[in-house]
Chain A
């Protein structure tokens, strides 16, 4: 029983970036036990061919559950498709991405197979013959190291923690027949939002603002900074501005919002309440801009500028545009 299963995620037929991270994590565990990495991807026809590229990150075999009715996530169909593959495979561990879909799917698969689930892992280590999982609790105010007394060990891994690492090999691709399941939940309407910014929990760069910005209109300076930083930058917000109705809750970072670990986090005109700090302190590089030199945010920031955001941020956007050429 030395195989690891990584669950890949696709959207509109393209693999999501976090799939590379899940395979990277699976490769690391497999190398620790001398095992191999399988990938399961569920989607419309052709998704297996797209997932072959996960060989670059250490996948040995891709199992593609393909069906025209499975292009979009359906809890019932995806739970069955993945639970069937897990049961067929005698796996040591199964790794899910801790995304919106993964958080819906992993608990169902675990319950169906009657095994526990460790959510949102930030470290995986093989000690002896056991997999030791580290995960944050209280939104990162503490961590717990745990093991799972079950087989397979089901774990979801947090975005941006297991940075994609190349370990190239030629992955084989096998297509598996799917049986779409009926659902008692039906999407009736979809409303496109204002932008197509990535989820703040999955973005590699986050620009977050607080009450010091004084008015929701002033978010345009953060949007401009986000544009200057390039594609895939998400906006974040403090609890205070979400409670004030300035920004949607989906952007809230902290214990009552999302916990994020981007490579670069800008905290603009937000003081850094303890529950906000809990949600972003695992970012690789933190930049704080605040008028108050005593703001708690400066205690976790790698780089700080004491000053007025309305003067500093537009200048920062200009300089970053120049630096990026």
Chain B
């Protein structure tokens, strides 16, 4: 099975996010960058599918500037066979990103296109299903585990009050959430091998953003809270405050 996994370079989840003084961007100073965690789950799912189906190619695809090469190399070190970096700036407009990715994906024509269920920076959770729509492919979102079954994949996903298994005809798009498998750490051998794997770079064609950013701001500070007391003896006062002051009981 030939799979393309779309990945994104994002700030680490432990990062403190500071707004630039002009309010027009996030201050990148001192930020550590990683592969968006849900994208790593997608890479792991792709590698497992390949192992299970006994063949095919796993391609990592990203849209980003030269710095994103670091994240692409780490996905190659995990075990992807080759990578393509569409050289360009991302966009706050998910549909512009989806169009840039879709034109490359149309050429690649894989059996399966995987995304993390959302990128951990913009949190828009939209590019995967948009790509599916642009390519006229079926799509299942927020899938925890994938299994190959001739010409299909089985998607295990959580639904309200339970889980379901969706049978999906290929070619298709799937967005991946955390599942039963931790993303593998690149081995030293994997890291060495990654240096020799093909990394193709080509200019990205990203349509102009129609999402116009006015300004970024930091979240409002929460009002100073109070420590009601220590131990179970403080409980009656807490319940009184929740009922009479916060009025939430």
Contact = CB atoms under 8 A, between A and B. Distances in A.
B201 interface: no
A112 B160 CA distance: 27
A150 B96 CA distance: 13
Contacts of B239: 316, 319-320, 323
Nearest to B10: A138
A190 B222 contact: no
Please report whether the interface of chain A is mostly helix, strand, loop or mixed according to DSSP.
Answer: mixed
Interface in A83-133: 100, 103-104, 106-108, 110-112, 114-120, 132
B94 A305 contact: no
Given A138-B121, A304-B225, A185 B168 contact: yes
A78 B93 CA distance: 23
Given A144-B216, A146-B92, A107 B126 contact: yes
Contact of A298 (B121, B165, B223, B225): B225
B165 A187 contact: yes
Contacts of A252: 178
Interface string A154-191: 00000000000000000000000000000111111111
B26 A104 contact: no
B231 A312 contact: yes
A285 B37 CA distance: 29
Most chain A beta-carbon contacts within 10 A, residue among B92, B160, B246: B160
Contacts of A198: 160
A320 B249 contact: yes
B236 to A, nearest CB: 6
Interface string A186-227: 111111110111110000010000000000000000000000
A40 interface: no
Interface residues of B, number: 86
Given A146-B212, A255-B120, A263-B248, A192 B133 contact: no
A240 interface: no
Interface stretch (B46-54, B64-72, B82-90, B138-146): B138-146
A291 B231 CA distance: 9
A263 B214 CA distance: 29
Interface residues of A, number: 93
A256 B37 contact: yes
B132 interface: yes
A106 B217 contact: no
Interface in A275-325: 275, 281-282, 284-287, 293, 298-308, 311-312, 315-316, 319-320, 323-324
A161 B162 CA distance: 26
B230 interface: yes
Contacts of B167: 185-188
A145 interface: yes
A235 interface: no
B235 A319 contact: yes
B211 A116 contact: yes
A303 B225 contact: yes
Contacts of B229: 305-306
B134 A111 contact: yes
A34 to B, nearest CB: 23
A261 B15 CA distance: 21
A139 B235 contact: no
Nearest to B214: A145
Contacts of A50: none
Given A144-B213, A303-B241, A316-B238, A281 B222 contact: yes
Interface of A: 11, 75-76, 79, 100, 103-104, 106-108, 110-112, 114-120, 132, 136-150, 183-193, 195-199, 205, 242, 248-250, 252, 254-256, 259, 263-264, 273-275, 281-282, 284-287, 293, 298-308, 311-312, 315-316, 319-320, 323-324
23 contacts: A103-B142, A111-B95, A116-B95, A116-B209, A117-B94, A117-B126, A118-B211, A120-B125, A141-B17, A141-B218, A146-B211, A148-B210, A185-B155, A186-B166, A199-B160, A249-B177, A275-B14, A286-B225, A302-B222, A302-B246, A304-B228, A315-B232, A319-B235
Interface of B: 11, 13-17, 19, 26, 37-38, 92-96, 98, 120-130, 132-134, 138-142, 144, 154-155, 158-169, 172, 177-179, 209-219, 222-223, 225-232, 234-236, 238-239, 241-243, 246, 248-249
